[in-house]
Amino acid sequence: MLLLPDKIEALFDYLITRFDTEPRSRLHIGEAMGCWLYFTALAEEVPILESALNTTTDNVLIELIKDGIKLGTHQKKILENFMIKEGIALSDTSGHKPNSDPNSVPLGVKATDMEIANLISAKVATNIIMCSNNISQSIRSDIGLMWIRFHSEKAILGMDVKTKMREHGWIKVPPYYYPPGAPSN
């Protein structure tokens, strides 16, 4: 499972003991909404990744998808337990997708490896932005630390995704920027 390395895990253990002693006030609406939105994003992300797993035969991409599913499921479970404890209603979400043979998927329906890799990249980037927004809205330390942890885990996954996308030619690079008056070579 692609989770935090031991040194970062130790840092979070320290931060929890250092900053998680504050009294726990009720969640404000921004904190509750952030939880609900991120939970919904993860709950919808996992079935999409399961569908992607059913359309590729590339071993590197399969590992990226599995890492994304493991991390999404892990974070969703933590968030679900937190939301239930805090009284935040869970959203209605899609169910898991059954396994199927990638070679049986019709070409008109089958996603390409580049499309799947870029979908994973976009999902990770969106999750990181959501975590950043939720960090900035958190008043309670326990919630802020949860978002920092999720952000860090997604950033680590994102670095792995980017590296593998480069190695396999799946990454889409925006046009280069040449400021006015810059040398042309």
Per-residue pLDDT at 173? 87
Structurally, what CATH architecture does the domain formed by 27-92+109-168 represent? Answer: Up-down Bundle (1.20)
- Across the chain, which distance is largest between two alpha carbons, in Å? 60
Does the CA dihedral 142-120-84-133 come out positive or negative? positive
107 and 55 in contact (C-beta within 8 Å)?
no
What is the model's pLDDT at position 84? 97
Closest of 177, 50, 165, 172 to residue 111, by C-alpha: 50
CA 25 to chain centre: 28
CB-based contact 164:59 (threshold 8 Å): no
Question: Domain segments of the chain: what residues?
Answer: 27-92+109-168
Torsion sign over Cα 2, 172, 59, 163: negative
At 141 the pLDDT is: 87
pLDDT in tens, the chain (185 residues): 444 556 666 665 656 666 666 677 889 999 999 999 999 999 999 999 999 999 999 999 999 999 999 999 999 999 999 999 999 999 988 888 888 888 888 888 889 999 999 999 999 999 999 999 999 999 998 899 999 999 999 999 999 999 999 999 999 888 988 888 888 76
Q: What is the distance between the alpha carbons of residues 146 and 140, in angstroms, rounded to a whole number?
A: 10
Separation CA 173–CA 131 (nearest Å) = 24
